[in-house]
Amino acid sequence: MLIDFNQVKPLTGPGMNHGSGEMTAKIVENPQGKFILNRIHPYGSIGIHSQKRGSEINYVISGTGRAICDGNVEILSQGCCHICPEGSSQIIENTGIDDLVLFTAIVEK
């Protein structure tokens, strides 16, 4: 399966799950799971949410931020991969002055 994010229309709006600021996302959802190219704009966030469909894998393409998963704080920077296991809850925040760019995958079991 090939996903070409160049062909996916970006959606811009407030931070997901009642997060702060703004973000832009290209979302592809199919039977295999949900795949997202996220741009959390400076000082924006994705609000707290639970992982119900599977573990969420967030690979940091660029920018800086932090993830809080079940109360554990993890610092995000280019090249890091944050995993929030199924059944856990998380928040992701952009702590920098540039976009925090993430590739997110939630693969169905």
Q: How far apart are CA 8 and CA 82, in angstroms?
A: 24
Beta carbons within 10 angstroms of residue 29's beta carbon: 10
Q: Is the dihedral of CA 85, 45, 39, 43 positive or negative?
A: negative
| Domains parsed from the chain with CATH numbers | 11-107 (2.60.120.10)
- pTM of the predicted structure, to 2 decimals: 0.91
- Residues comprising the chain, all counted: 109
Question: Buried b / exposed e across 56-65, counting CB within 10 Å, b at 16+?
Answer: bbbbbeebbb
18: number of Cβ within 10 Å: 11
pLDDT digits (tens, 9 = 90+) for 36-91: 999 999 999 999 888 887 889 999 999 999 999 999 999 999 999 999 998 899 99
